[in-house]
Amino acid sequence: MTPRSLLSFVRWYVREITGEAEYDRYLERHRAHSPTPPLSRREYERLRIDRRDADPGARCC
Amino acid sequence: MSRIGPGGAKARPKSVLVWTAVAVVGAVAWGVLALSRGEKISAIWLVAAALGSYAIAYRFYSRFIARRVLGVDDRRATPAERLDNGVDFHPTDRRVLLGHHFAAIAGAGPLVGPVLAAQMGYLPGTIWIIVGVILAGAVQDMVTLFFSMRRDGKSLGQMVREEMGPVGGAAALLAVFSIMIILLGVLALVVVNALASSPWGTFSIAMTIPIALFMGLYLRVLRPGRVMEATVIGVALLLLAIAGGGWIEGSPLAGAFTLSPQTLVVCLVVYGFFASVLPVWLLLAPRDYLSTFMKVGTIGLLAVGVLVAAPHLRNEAITSFALDGNGPVFAGSLFPFVFITIACGALSGFHALIASGTTPKMIQKESQVRLIGYGAMLMESFVAIMALIAASALEPGLYYAMNAPAGLLGTTAESAAAAVGKLGFVITPEDLRAAAAAVEEQTVIARAGGAPTLAVGISEILSGIFGGTGFKAFWYHFAIMFEALFILTTVDAGTRVGRFMLQDTLGNIWKPIGRVSWKPGLWGTSALVVLAWGYFLYAGVSDPLGGINQLFPLFGIANQLLAAIALTLCTTLLIKSGKLRWAWVTAIPLLWDAAVTLTASWQKVFHDDPKIGFFAQRAKYADALAAGKVLPPAKNLDQMHTVVVNSTIDGVLAAMFALLVLLVIGNALVVCVRAVRAREPLPTAEAPYVESRIVAPSGLFSTAVERRAPAYAGAAEGTGTGAAAGRDGEEAQAP
C-alpha cells in the first residue's frame, strides 16, 4: 500500500461515511433512470436530511 | 459462494502458525491475569488477553455461526440489493457500514458500566467483558442482524409480533418503551453528576448547542451537504469551547455556569423537549456528526494512550465487595450484579434495536453479518476493556471517594477521607484536594456515575503522553465533554424515537396523534416522553441514597432483559427454521442472561436487605416515617418521603420488566414446542429467495478469489450494480 493509495482510500472512506458521496450516487442513478433534470445539490441535501425527521436513527447507550 | 472467506477451505501452514501464535499470546496473558496475586500488573496483559481472545473468537466461532448455524448464502440477494431505492435500502460498502453500525451501537454505556463494576476488582469485569461478548453479546448482534436482514430489515418488535404472536409482541413493545425511558433517565443522570457545580464542564457543554445550530445552518444554507467541512469547523469550535471553559471558570461569569443538579435537570428536560420537536437538520443531525467524530477520535486516542502509557493496575483483582455484596458504589454480590452493571460492553439488548432496522437494509452480502454484527460488537467490548483499565489504574482510595454516595462521604475532604478509610482504603484529605485541583474542579467527592472517574483516569493516561501534568485539567474536561456530548446525542435521538413509538401506539386509539406532522400531537407526545425520563432524572438527583446507586441496577436489568427478548427471538427463529440442533448457540446465552437478570430482578424486588431490595428499603423508611423518625442518609422528613416514593416506583418497575420478559419467553416456549412437534417447519416471515447479481468481499479485506469474480463490487460506490467496480478506494485495498 503506497502513501498515495492510502490517502485516496481515506478520502473515499470519509466521503462515504459522512454521506458526502450520496449526491454523486444520486446523480448517477438519476441519469440512468430518468430523462428529467436532476435536483440541485441544495434541493437534494434538503430532502435527504428532512427524511431523518421521520427516522432519526437510534443511538445506543 | 458462502464458502468464500479468509483462508479458503483448507488450512495452510502459514495460517496455522499465525493462529497458533495468537492463541499462545492470548493464553499467556490470561495466565498472567489468573496467577498474579498481590503484585501490581500492567494493563498490557488485559489488552493482550482481550485482543487474543477476540481474534480467535472472530476467526473460528463467528465463522462457525455464519456458516453452520445461520447458513449465510451469498447467492441470495440481500434486501439492499432487491429493494434498492437509494434512500433507506441501498447496498453499502461493508467497511462504511461497519463504521455506521459501530457509531450507532457505541456510546456511554461501555464506558460507564465497567467503571462502576471496578468496585468488584478488575478480574470479574475483564472476564465477563471478554467471555460475555464472545459467547453472548456479539452472537446476539450478529444473529439479530441476520434474521432482520432476512426479513427486509424489520424491527425487533415487529419480528416478535410476527413470529411469536400479538401477546409477545405487545409485551416486547411495552418493554422496549419503558426500558428506553429508564435508559434516558440514567444516562442524563450521568451527565448531571458530571456537570453539577462545574462551570468549566457546563460552559463547554452549553456551547455545543450554538455550535450545532451553526453547523445546521451551514449545511442547510451556506454549503449544503458539505458535512466534512462543517464537522471540521465544529470540532475546532468545540476544542475552543473546552479551552474557553478554563477561562470562564476563573472569570466573573463562572457563577452563571455553576448550576445545582436540580437546575441542570430542568435545563436538560427543556433541552430534550426542543431537540425532539425542532427539525432534525437544525440541532439533532449536526450534533450527531460532532458526537460521532468525537466518539471515534477519542476512543482511538484512548487506545493509543492505554497502549503507550501501559498503566499499572492499582485496583485489586477481586475486592471483598465482590463476595460480601456490601460495596458502596452499588449493593449486591458479584452474581448477579457485576453482569448487570457491565451490561453494554459484554451484552447489550439495545444493540438488537440497531441490528434490526437500519443496518440490515444496507448490507451488501449475507456473509457480511459476521464482520458487521460480530466484529462491531468486539470493538465495543474493547472500548469497555479500556474503560475498565482507566478506572482500575486509579488509586482505589480516590476511586471510592468519587463513587460512593454523598450520604456516606459527607461534603468535606476530611469526612470523605474518613469514610473511605472505614471502607478499608487509604486517602488523605490533602490528596483529595490535590486531585480536585489537578483537574481544576471544586471537588471530586461523590461524583458518581462513572463519567468523572473515567475522565480522571483518561486525564492521567493522556496527560502522561500528551502535554504533561499541566494538561490534566484540559484532558479531564475533554473527556467529560465527549461523554456528555454523546450521551446528549443519545438523549436527543432516544426522545425522538420514544416519541414516535408513543405516537404510533396512541394513534391506534385516537387517529390524529399518530400523524407525524400534527403539531399538537407531536408536542404532547414529546412532552410526555421528556417528563417520563425527566421524572427518573429528578428522582435520581434528589434521592438521598444516591441516584446512581439506586437507578443504575435498574438500568442494567432493563438492558439485559431487552437482550433476553432479542435472544429469545433468535432462538425461536432458529428452531422455527428447522435448526433445533444449533439452537444452543443463542439458547445458552439466553439461559445465562435470564438466570442473571431474573435473579437480579428477584433480589431487587424481594431481597430482605434494604440496601438491595427496593421493597425492604421502602418498608424500612416507611416504618421510620410513620414513627416520625429520620433515618440517615436522609436529613429530614421530606427526604424520607422521597426515599419511600422512589423505592416503591423502582420496585414496581423492576417487577414489571421481569414479568414482561417472562411473558415473551413463555410465548416463545409455546411457539418453539409447536415448531418442534410440527412435521413441517412452521411458516416464518422470511422474504423469498432471489438470486444475487453482485459479488462483494465478506471480510474486512477482499480475497484474491473475490476480486476475480466478474460481478465484483469491491469498494465501488455501492450502487448495487457492480458496474463501477473498484474505483477510488479499491486500489488501496491491500490484503
**pLDDT, tens digit, for every residue of B466-516?**
888 888 999 999 999 989 988 998 998 899 989 988 998 898 888 888 887
Helix spans in B156-260 (H): 156-164, 166-195, 199-217, 227-249, 254-257
A48, A58, A61: residue with CB nearest B109? A61
DSSP SS3 for B107: coil
Distance between CA atoms of residues B113 and B381, nearest Å: 11
My answer on whether B719 and B671 are in the same domain is no
B240, part of any domain: no
Amino acid, single-letter form, for residue B358: T
B653, part of any domain: yes
Q: Tell me the per-residue pLDDT of B372-387, one tens digit each, with 9 for 90 and over.
A: 999 999 999 999 999 9
My answer on whether B611 and B732 are in the same domain is no
Q: Tell me the per-residue pLDDT of B410-455, one tens digit each, with 9 for 90 and over.
A: 889 999 999 999 999 999 999 999 999 999 999 999 998 899 999 9
Share of chain B above pLDDT 70, in %: 96
Distance between CA atoms of residues B715 and A36, nearest Å: 29
Structural domain count of chain B: 2
Burial readout B309-340 (b: 16 or more C-beta within 10 A, e: otherwise): bbbebebbbebebbeebebbbbbbbbebbbbb
Q: Is the complex ipTM more than 0.90?
A: yes
Residue in this structure with the C-alpha cell 471517594, named with its chain if needed: B401
Residues B564, B590 contacting (CB under 8 angstroms):
yes
**Which residues in chain A have Cβ-Cβ distances shorter than 8 Å to B733?**
9
Q: What are phi and psi of B86, to 5 degrees?
A: 70, -5
B692, part of any domain: no
- Amino acid B703: pLDDT: 85
Q: Tell me the per-residue pLDDT of A9-40, one tens digit each, with 9 for 90 and over.
A: 999 999 999 999 999 999 998 999 889 999 99
Last residue of a domain, one of B636, B661, B677: B677
Please say if the pLDDT value at position B357 is more than 90. Answer: no
For the residues B27-34, what does the mean pLDDT come to? 94
- Amino acid A38: pLDDT: 94
My answer on whether B91 and B172 are in the same domain is yes
Please say if the pLDDT value at position A59 is more than 80. Answer: no
Cα angle B726, B732, B735 (rounded to 5 degrees) comes to: 95
**Which residues in chain A have Cβ-Cβ distances shorter than 8 Å to B187?**
61
My answer on whether B425 and B536 are in the same domain is yes
B222, part of any domain: no
My answer on whether B520 and B580 are in the same domain is yes
Distance between CA atoms of residues A2 and B111, nearest Å: 36
- Amino acid B419: pLDDT: 95
My answer on whether B711 and B571 are in the same domain is no
Helix H or strand E encompassing B409: helix B406-409
B314, part of any domain: yes
| Distance (Å) from the alpha carbon of B194 to chain A's nearest alpha carbon | 17
Distance between CA atoms of residues B21 and B25, nearest Å: 6
Please say if the pLDDT value at position B127 is more than 50. Answer: yes
For the residues B100-118, what does the mean pLDDT come to? 92
Q: Tell me the per-residue pLDDT of B662-701, one tens digit each, with 9 for 90 and over.
A: 999 999 999 999 999 998 888 899 999 999 999 899 999 9
Least Cα distance to B604 among B620, B618, B622 occurs for: B618
Distance between CA atoms of residues B695 and B716, nearest Å: 11
My answer on whether B26 and B108 are in the same domain is yes
A5, A13, A19: residue with CB nearest B731? A5
- Amino acid B9: pLDDT: 56
Tell me the pLDDT band of B723, cut-offs 50, 70 and 90: very low
The residue count for chain B: 735
Amino acid, single-letter form, for residue B284: L
My answer on whether B440 and B546 are in the same domain is yes
Side-chain-side CA neighbours of residue B321 (13 Å)? 27
For the residues A43-53, what does the mean pLDDT come to? 90
Distance between CA atoms of residues B68 and B622, nearest Å: 57
Residues B423, B404 contacting (CB under 8 angstroms):
yes
My answer on whether B559 and B624 are in the same domain is yes
**Which residues in chain B have Cβ-Cβ distances shorter than 8 Å to A26?**
86
Please say if the pLDDT value at position B2 is more than 50. Answer: no
Tell me the pLDDT band of B714, cut-offs 50, 70 and 90: low
Query: Using beta carbons and an 8 Å cutoff, which residues of A are at the interface with B?
Result: 1, 5-6, 8-9, 11-26, 28-29, 41-42, 44-46, 48-61
- Which CATH number characterizes residue B655's domain? 1.20.1740.10
Q: Tell me the count of A-B CB pairs closer than 8 A.
A: 141
My answer on whether B417 and B498 are in the same domain is yes
B687, part of any domain: no
The range of the structural domain enclosing residue B729 comes to 704-735
B160, part of any domain: yes
A60–B107: do the CB atoms touch at under 8 Å?
Answer: yes
My answer on whether B319 and B422 are in the same domain is yes
Please name the residues between 377 and 406 in chain B that touch chain A, using a CB distance below 8 Å.
Answer: none
My answer on whether B586 and B725 are in the same domain is no
- How far from A4 is each of B271, B386, B401, B679, B731, CA to CA, in Å? 45, 32, 51, 60, 10
- Amino acid B384: pLDDT: 96
B130, part of any domain: yes
- Terminal CA-CA length for chain B: 19
Distance between CA atoms of residues B12 and A57, nearest Å: 43
- Amino acid B713: pLDDT: 66
Q: Tell me the per-residue pLDDT of B398-410, one tens digit each, with 9 for 90 and over.
A: 999 999 988 889 8
A60–B351: do the CB atoms touch at under 8 Å?
Answer: yes
For the residues B603-627, what does the mean pLDDT come to? 95
Last residue of a domain, one of B631, B659, B677: B677
Please say if the pLDDT value at position B720 is more than 50. Answer: no
Please say if the pLDDT value at position B3 is more than 60. Answer: no
For the residues B351-375, what does the mean pLDDT come to? 95
**Which residues in chain A have Cβ-Cβ distances shorter than 8 Å to B212?**
none
Last residue of a domain, one of B658, B677, B696: B677
A45–B219: do the CB atoms touch at under 8 Å?
Answer: yes
Average predicted confidence (pLDDT) for chain B: 91
